[in-house]
Amino acid sequence: MEKLTRKYGLMTAICMVVGTVIGSGVFFKAQDVLKATGGNMPLGIAAWVITGFLMIVCSAQFAVMATRYEKVSGLIDYAEATCGKGYAYYIAWFMVNVYYPGMTSVLAWVSARYFGVFLGWDREYGENPFAYFSDGRVLALACFFLISSYAINALSPKLAGKFQVSATVIKMVPISLMAVVGIIAGSVNGTLGSNFASVLDSSKGDAGGLFAAVVATVFAYEGWIVATSINAELKNPKKNLPLALVIGSFIVVAAYVLYYVGVAGGAKTEDLVTKGATTAFTNIFGGFGGKVLDICVVVSCLGTLNGLMVGATRGMYAIAARDDGPRPEMFSQVDKHTNMTTNSSVWGLFVCAAWLLYFFGANLVDGGWFGLFNFDSSELPIVTIYAMYIPIFIAWMVKEKDLGVFKRFVLPIASIVCCGFMVFAAVYAHGVTKYLEAKEAGEFSFPVLFYFIVFAAVMLAGFLLKKKRK
């Protein structure tokens, strides 16, 4: 099997964590958090802190694993070392065909959405800005961004790594400015205090609202595990990968909480719910300043897209490197000129395009194209991966007998509790809550159930292909 060269250092790995996590979610999901909590700012902050804590605990556990296991693709290495080759294959198959492409496709659309805002496309829809989301121009631009990200990663992995570092620095500009200026301005003019003291819809200030907000923030926090996909290309991975996971996670949590508070100081809650967080930018920095920051947001989103594409393009290679899955001799090939997994990249682009089409039809078009099978592909696949972490943590406690109590039991048990909470919150928000809302209207809806059917179908396809290989 051809091998990848070690070309990335600690700074690139930290930027992979920070740059892949911070991107669209903090801008895209802040509005969803406010909707879920009925404009309850303290409850929204609680959701950001809870999910951030879950991420830190799980990333700390994987940081410990990174000091002991190393092969070609972090998470899959950990699954193989703890649960065996069979489980590693299925978790890799899920990541290749659902997790990475699902998130990557959403990021392509979000990047296009904010670029359209910069161009003024959203203003054409007047008082109905949400109709802009399904604009055909946005979908076309999303396809362009998807292909461009693929091309950069396929033709020049080193250039993709440099872009990741640059985009990470640029994306911290709007977040830092809003966090600092928004808090100061909001404190002076009273907007911050008013937003924290008032609630738009008190009926959502309960456990259901908190769970929905937590699940919304999970998209904004997800992506840190993608950093483990460059394990085979990272210099001194047993030292640098754990450092990157822990340092990057703390940076992300601090940035998100401060940004969310800053946004609350930039606009009234009702405006943030109906028009989104970009309203706060315009209010504070004016029209020109808002446009400059819009560009920073687009770069931020593209940086996250680039980081996710790194994982998407290496997915089939991670399977083929273990001589498993369909045509391992084909997907394990590495281009001798670019040191890129070319065939694996082509498959990754194809699946990303398929999920982009699904996301557009299920979540952006009125009524959806898929009936009962309309579900949020930006959130449910992420929660699924948290559920798939649990067997890894359990097996870790059974096998790693030479470790101390904290690393062998305390940390993995805490990680299991965090993952279990995430799964429960997703089932409640995307299952129970949706069912009760539909029941009141005389309809039926249980998105998490139909997502599970799609998940089972994808995993069955993986089983059949694995069976065929044998």
Tell me the whole-structure pTM to 2 decimals. Answer: 0.79
Helices (H) and strands (E) in the chain, counts: 21, 0
What one-character DSSP code corresponds to residue 379?
Answer: T
DSSP 72: S
Give the tokens for residue 35: 């909707």
Strand, helix or coil for residue 441: coil
Asked if 446 contacts 434 with a C-beta cutoff of 8 angstroms, the reply is yes
**234: β partners:** 8
Beta bridge partners of 8: 234
Scored b (16 or more CB within 10 A) or e, 149-180 reads bbebbbeebeebbebbbebbebbbbbbebbbe
Are 465 and 248 in contact, with CB atoms under 8 Å apart? no
For residue 59 the two structure tokens come to 């990333």
The token duo for 89 is 């294959």
Alpha-carbon dihedral 228, 231, 234, 239, rounded to 10 degrees? 80
Residue 455 identity: F
pLDDT tens track of the chain, all 470 residues?
A: 445 566 667 777 777 667 666 766 677 677 788 888 888 888 989 998 898 888 888 878 887 887 777 654 567 888 888 999 999 999 999 999 998 899 889 889 988 988 888 888 888 877 666 678 888 899 999 999 999 888 877 776 666 666 666 766 777 777 888 889 999 999 999 999 999 888 888 777 666 788 888 888 887 777 666 655 555 566 776 677 777 777 877 888 888 889 889 988 988 888 888 777 778 888 888 777 777 777 877 887 887 787 778 778 888 888 888 888 888 888 888 777 766 778 888 898 999 999 999 999 998 888 889 999 999 898 889 889 889 999 999 999 999 988 899 989 999 999 999 999 889 888 888 888 889 889 988 999 999 999 999 999 999 999 998 855 54
| Kind and range of the H or E run holding 297 | helix 278-320
* Distance of alpha carbon 248 from alpha carbon 25, whole angstroms: 16
- Residue pair 5/339 in contact (Cβ under 8 Å)? The answer is yes
**Token pair belonging to 133:** 């989301």
Q: What DSSP string describes 221-289?
A: HTTGGGGGGGGGGBSSHHHHHHHHHHHHHHHHHHHHHHHHHHHHTTS-HHHHHHH-THHHHHHHHHHHH
- 3-state SS class at 8: strand
Q: Quote the crossing angle between the two packed helices 41-66 and 380-399, to the nearest 10°.
A: 40
Instruction: Find out whether 122 and 274 touch, Cβ atoms under 8 Å.
Output: no
| Backbone torsions φ then ψ of 420, nearest 5 degrees | -60, -40
Give whole-number Cα distances, 45 to 178, 195, 301, in Å. Answer: 16, 12, 22
Q: How far apart are CA 211 and CA 434, in angstroms?
A: 12
φ and ψ at 14, to 5 degrees? Answer: -65, -40
Alpha carbon 114 to chain centroid, angstroms: 17
- Between CA 402 and CA 400 the distance in angstroms is 6
